[in-house]
Homo-oligomer: A and B are copies of this chain.
């Protein structure tokens, strides 16, 4: 089964995008990334500081992995901040990809959909390929597509909450509404069963970080998510049975012995 995913002009085999933050150590991060078999990792820009040049060391590690990097605009609260950050990221990371985050609220880290659409349009105009971190709002999704986005990344639940898909109804509606747009569940997944569920619903990929990095054994958890994703994707292709309310015997009733 050839089942690759095309994100803008890039074809990937793995449907797992993994964050690079919050790991107990760089070595564990590298191990987790390798065992996830992911082809895309997310990174950010932060202030370089002091003489240790922490960022340079991090960047060496990432470059050695030889993966696609997807820089984010985490922490930006306005379109302008996000746009400037994206331009800085393009230069540093040498990619036109950007995971566009415009954060609107501190407790839930939910997107500011107004700033998001504005920044997506401007960045697309400037030649970026935007991966917008968005909500499950279908109208916002339409606006992002009109702004030039060719991928949508709705949240499953608040970033780092690990709650899984808070509103499966809404994500199902989104999948049905945009059958041909690559849809990535970004944020909020906590367990591999959540990832399998997303894939069974027909989502194209998963992006996460905390659930792997904060597991007791991040590398093992990365492997687990990777396998659950693949399993969920196969289930989607295998066309699951419909749920029923009543039971139905699996063992044949015909030929049942009379032994009483």
Contacts and interface: CB of A to CB of B under 8 A. Distances in A.
A224 B214 contact: no
A157 to B, nearest CB: 7
Contacts of A137: 110, 113, 135, 137
Interface centre among A74, A108, A169, A244 (most CB of B within 10 A): A108
Interface string A136-155: 01111011000000000000
Contacts of A160: 244, 247-250
A250 B209 contact: yes
A46 B140 CA distance: 29
Interface string A242-258: 11111111111111110
A233 B77 CA distance: 37
A161 B245 contact: yes
A56 interface: no
Contact of A139 (B112, B240, B243): B112
Interface stretch (A59-67, A90-98, A120-128, A215-223): A215-223
A259 B108 CA distance: 22
Chain multiplicity (copies): 4
B249 A237 contact: no
Given A166-B169, A244-B161, A259-B80, A221 B196 contact: no
A75 B253 contact: yes
Given A140-B113, A167-B167, A260-B81, A241 B211 contact: yes
Contact of A105 (B21, B138, B249): B138
Contacts of A200: 191-193
Given A21-B251, A252-B44, A255-B47, A162 B196 contact: no
Nearest to A80: B260
A104 interface: yes
12 contacts: A21-B252, A46-B255, A49-B255, A74-B251, A113-B139, A114-B143, A160-B249, A162-B240, A192-B231, A210-B248, A210-B250, A220-B234
The 7 lowest CB-CB distance pairs between A and B, nearest first, are A216-B239, A46-B255, A158-B247, A74-B251, A104-B139, A160-B248, A193-B196
Given A110-B137, A166-B167, A216-B240, 10 more contacts: A104-B139, A137-B137, A159-B250, A163-B245, A190-B240, A192-B232, A217-B238, A224-B234, A227-B227, A227-B230
